[in-house]
Structure 1
Amino acid sequence: MSINESYPPAFRRVISGGDPLATAEVEPAVLVRDEDIKIPVIDLERLDKEILREACKEWGIFRLENHGVPLALTSRLQEISGSLLSLPFENKRELFAAVNSPLTYFWGTPALNPSGDALKRGAQASNVHMLEGFNVPLSKLPTFSTSCDDGDAHEPKLESFRVLIEEYGRHITRIAVSLFEAIAQTLSLQLSGNRRSEYLSESTGLIRVYRYPGSSDGAAGEALGMEVHTDSSVISILKEDETGGLEVMKGEDWFCVKPVANTLIVNLGDMMQAISDDEYKSVTHRVKKKNMETERHSVCYFVFPKRDYVIKSSNYKPFTYSEFEAQVQADVQSSGTKIGLPRFRPNSPLFLSSCREI
C-alpha cells in the first residue's frame, strides 16, 4: 500500500504536488520569527510555585519534566496509534464506525463537536488543514468494546490502543490534577469540598491523537496543520514527537517551541484565564510543519470544568462551559473561526451581538 492511501483524498493532491489546499488562516498581523524560544521549565517532582506563577502569568505555557509517565508507555502508544493512523483511509473510517465506539476519526480540521466529529465551517467549509486523528473521551473508555461482528483484522491493534490510551489517561489525569491544585494555590482559590471537581472535572478529560502528513518531495512546502487558536480547556497537556512545528505567540511575535525528549508541554486554556480573572493567560498557538519529509505525531489531553458549573469572573458575564462550547461551535460554523472569551465580555460588541442573535 502506498502511504498516500492512508491519507484523506484531499491531502493526496497536495502531497503529490497537485493544487495546494485552501488553508487560509485568521491571525493577527505580526512579525514571524523563525527561531526557537525557551519556554519556562517546571519540575513536577520539585514544584516551585513562584516559577509556576510566573509561567502562567507571563507565558501561559511551560515545559514539564520529571512527570512520571513511563517512556516505554509513550513510545508504545506512539507506535500503535501510528500504526492505526497508517491504515487506508476508508479502513480507518469503517473501523471506528463498525465498533460503535465513542472514539471518532476526524481529518481536515481541529474543530470538533462534542461527539468528536469535525465541524463544518460555514464560509470556510472548503478550507482543509493538514491533520487527522482520533478523539478519545476518557470517561467512556471502560465501556468501549473493540469486538466487531465481522471480526475485523485490525481489532487487536484497536484493543492495544484502548489499553495504552487508558493507562496514559490515568497518568496524564494525575498530572493535570496536581498542576491545577498548585496553580489554584498561586491564585488563592478555595478548593474545599467539591470545588476542585467543579473547576476541573476529570470526567470531561479527553485525548486527541494527531498525525500531520509528510511528503517525500516536499511538494506541500510549509503546511498549516493547526490554525491560530487558544484552547477552550482549563489545562492542555501535549506529548509530541521530535519533528516539531508548535509555535507560540509571545508579545507580538511568533516563536518556534523546539521538542525536548521525555518532557510534556502544558498550556493554559480559556477556562483558566476566566477562572483567574485574566491574571493568567490562555496562550495563542498554532502548528506549522516545515519539515515535510517527516510526519508529525502528537497526543494532547484536554480537561474542562463541569459542564453546568457557572464560572464567575469580574471580566466576563457568568457562563457555564456548555454555554461557552455552544458559542464557539456557533462561531466556527457561521464565520469559520473561534472567537472565544471576547464573546463573553459584558461591554464587548461581540457579546451584545451574540445576545441579539440568541
Structure 2
Amino acid sequence: MSMDVLEKMRQEQVRVFREPFGKKSKSEKFSAGSYRWGTPSATCLRQLSWSEAFHVPMTDISDNKDLTILSSIMEKFASESEALAYLLAEVLAEKSGRKANYFKENCVRNTCYLRMNRYPPCPKPSEVYGLMPHTDSDFLTILYQDQVGGLQLIKDNRWIAVKPNPRALIINIGDLFQAWSNGMYKSVEHRVMTNPKVERFSAAYFLCPSYDSVIECSSDCPTYRNFSFREFRQQVQEDVKKLGFKVGLPRFLNHLY
C-alpha cells in the first residue's frame, strides 16, 4: 500500500475527528449511525469503550459523490486495503487447501467496511479500555495505527503489546476465517488500552462475506457446523444485548464430532 495514501488518510482522519461533536455526529457524508461514541450496544459502564469512530460501509465510500479530500482519500485507502485483503485471503486459502476464488465470489462491498478510530486521552486509564477485549467477526482485518501504541493481543495466554511500526500494517485473522479453515488459522483476541495524556488514531478495513454466504469448515471432521454470516451476526448481537459480551464461535461448535 502507498505510504502517501496512508499518511494522507491519517491527516484527514485527524481533521474530521477534530470537528465539533454536533457536526461529525450528524455528518451527511455517511449513512445514519456511522458515527459512534463509546459502545452503542453497552448496557453498563464496564462495557463502555473510551473511543469514538466512524464505522462506514464500503458502499458509502464507493457511492459517495461528494468529491472532498476526505472522500477521495477514503476511497483510495479502502480500495488498496480491499485489494490487499483479497490477496492475503487467497494465499491463506491456498495454504489450507481451499479454493482461492471463494472470497471474490462471496464477499461484497455492502458488508465490508472501513472504520476510523480515535481514542481520546483518558483520565482513568486503569478503569476503562479504549476497546474492549474481543475478536473480529470477519475474515480478515487490515489495520493502520499511529505511533502512540496501545494495541495488545493474546499470545500464550498473555497480553502482548503490538509495537507501532510506521511502515507496517497489522493483519488480524477473524472468526469467519477460523471457522472456514477449521481452526488452522486462529481468530486473534485483542484490545486497546487507553492513554492518560495522548490521543491515538487508527483505521481498519474489514473483509466480510454477503449475509447469505455459508461458512463451511474444510474438514471431514468439522469443528464448527455450517452457518451463514447473517446467522453469526444475529447471534453476536443477541449475546451482547443479553450477556453484555460476545460469545462468538463457541455458539457454532459441531456437537456431532
TM-score > 0.5, shorter chain as reference: yes
Q: Give distance in 2, aligned partners of 1:126 and 1:183.
A: 36
CA shift for structure 1 position 191: 3.4
Q: What amino acid sits opposite 2:117 in the alignment? A: Y
Whether 2:37 is the aligned partner of 1:107: answer yes
- What displacement does 1:296 show? 0.4
Task: Confirm or deny that 1:206 pairs with 2:136.
Answer: no
- Rounded Cα–Cα distance in structure 1 between residues aligned with 2:107 and 2:156: 28
- Amino acid aligned to 1:342: P
Query: Does structure 1 retain, via aligned residues, the 8 Å contact 2:131–2:192?
Result: yes
Residues 84 and 92 in structure 1, CA contact (< 8 A), matched pair in contact too: yes
Whole-angstrom CA distance in 1 between matches of 2:37 and 2:213 = 31
> Can you list the C-alpha shifts for 1:26-50, whole angstroms capped at 9, x where unaligned?
xxxxxxxxxxxxxxxxxxxxxxxxx
Question: Using a 3 Å threshold, how does the CA distance of structure 1 residues 174 and 99 change in structure 2: closer, same or farther?
Answer: closer
Give 1:190's aligned residue: 99
Does structure 2 conserve the Cα–Cα contact (< 8 Å) formed by 1:103 and 1:136?
A: no
Counterparts of 1:240 and 1:99 in 2: how far apart (Å)? 23
Whether contact under 8 Å (1:197, 1:306) holds in the other structure is no
User: Superposition pairs for residues 174-185 of structure 1, below 5 Å?
Assistant: 174-185=83-94
Are residue 333 (structure 1) and residue 241 (structure 2) matched? yes
Runs ≥4 residues deviating over 3 A = 98-103, 198-203
Q: Does 1:221 align with 2:125?
A: yes
Query: CA, structure 1 residues 145+201, in 2 after alignment: closer, same or farther (shift >3 Å)?
Result: closer
1:309 aligns with 213
Shift of 1:126: 7.3
Q: CA deviation at 1:343?
A: 0.6
TM-score (norm 2): 0.90
- Residues 162-203 of structure 1: CA deviation (Å, up to 9, x unaligned): 1110011111111001101110110010235xx332454455
SS in 1 for 2:112: strand
Instruction: Work out the CA distance in 2 between the residues paired with 1:300 and 1:79.
Output: 15
CA 1:345/1:90 → structure 2, altered by over 3 Å: closer, same or farther? Answer: same
CA distance in 2, matches of 1:203, 1:100: 13
Q: Measure the CA separation in 1 of the matches of 2:162 and 2:172.
A: 12
Helix, strand or coil for the counterpart of 1:317?
coil
Query: Which residue in 2 is equivalent to 1:75?
Result: 7
Shift of 1:100: 6.6
Is this contact kept in 2: 1:229–1:338, CA < 8 A?
Answer: yes
1:342 aligns to what?
250
Are 1:140 and 2:60 an aligned pair?
yes
Amino acid at match of 1:107: W
- Cα 1:142–1:304 change in 2 (3 A) is closer
Are the counterparts in 2 of residues 229 and 284 from structure 1 also a CA contact under 8 Å? yes
Query: Contact 2:153–2:188 (CA<8 Å) still a contact in 1?
Result: yes
What CA distance in whole angstroms lies between the structure 2 residues aligned with 1:328 and 1:265?
24
Matching residue's letter, 2:75? E
| Count, aligned residues | 251
Which residue identity lines up with residue 180 of structure 1 in the other structure? A
- CA separation in 1, counterparts of 2:96 and 2:134? 25
Flag the 1:198–1:92 CA change in 2: closer, same or farther, 3 A: same
CA contact (8 A) 1:311 1:318 kept: yes
Structure 2 Cα separation of the partners of residues 230 and 87 of structure 1: 30
Q: Contact (CA 8 Å) 1:173, 1:202: kept in 2 or not?
A: no
TM-aligned CA distance change 1:310 to 1:100, over 3 Å? closer
Deviations 1:289-309 (A, max 9, x none): 3x4221100001101122211
User: In the aligned structure 2, how far is the partner of 1:92 from the partner of 1:255?
Assistant: 34
Partner of 2:197: 293
Correspondence 1:1-358 to 2 at 5 A = 69-94=1-26, 96=27, 98=28, 101=31, 104-109=34-39, 118-119=40-41, 121-122=42-43, 124=44, 127-146=47-66, 159-191=68-100, 195-198=102-105, 200-214=107-121, 219-222=123-126, 223-289=128-194, 291-313=195-217, 314-347=222-255
Separation (CA, whole Å) in 2 of partners of 1:339 and 1:173: 27
Residue segments in structure 2 that go unaligned for 5+ positions in a row = none
